[in-house]
Structure 1
């Protein structure tokens, strides 16, 4: 396989994983899959990260995301033991 094909597959996988996060967070359902709302929210996030509040937002959102991932992992492990 050529280098550009490998790179393209990596990029595609990365994009699919990011899209899955949008679904996992419930954003698709909450916006009725309105792409303008989703894109607007992402633009708002980007602006927030570029603002003077960026470091605080980044830390807060990272903490919340890690807690959610841990909770999901815990629920999956608990479900496998049942």
Structure 2
């Protein structure tokens, strides 16, 4: 992956962390946010992988839809 693409990916992933409200919910506690991500990674390595991915995708899609709907009502 080229440097520019990698930078864009990292910015987008950071945006997801912010969009999910994790910065505010943890008072910008980087250790807590990293711990949450490590917990998610451990879940993905477990026998609960498919169940967790299904649940997280569903929640993520609803979240994206809610953000899109909020932007539509703002304009």
Give every structure 1 segment of 4 or more consecutive aligned residues whose post-TM-superposition deviation is greater than 3 Å.
none
CA distance in 2, matches of 1:39, 1:32: 13
1:23-82 CA-to-partner distances (Å, cap 9, x unmatched) read 1111011111111111111010000011111100000000000011011111211221xx
Unaligned runs of 5+ in 1: none
Q: Secondary structure of the equivalent of 1:32?
A: coil
**Equivalences, count:** 75
Relative to the length of structure 2, the TM-score reads 0.92
CA distance in 1, matches of 2:20, 2:9: 17
Relative to the length of structure 1, the TM-score reads 0.85
What residue in structure 2 maps to residue 25 of structure 1? 20
Does residue 65 of structure 2 align to residue 70 of structure 1? yes
What residue in structure 2 maps to residue 12 of structure 1? 7
Q: Secondary structure of the equivalent of 1:33?
A: coil
Q: CA RMSD in A?
A: 1.2
Does residue 44 of structure 2 align to residue 49 of structure 1? yes
Higher alpha-carbon Rg: 1
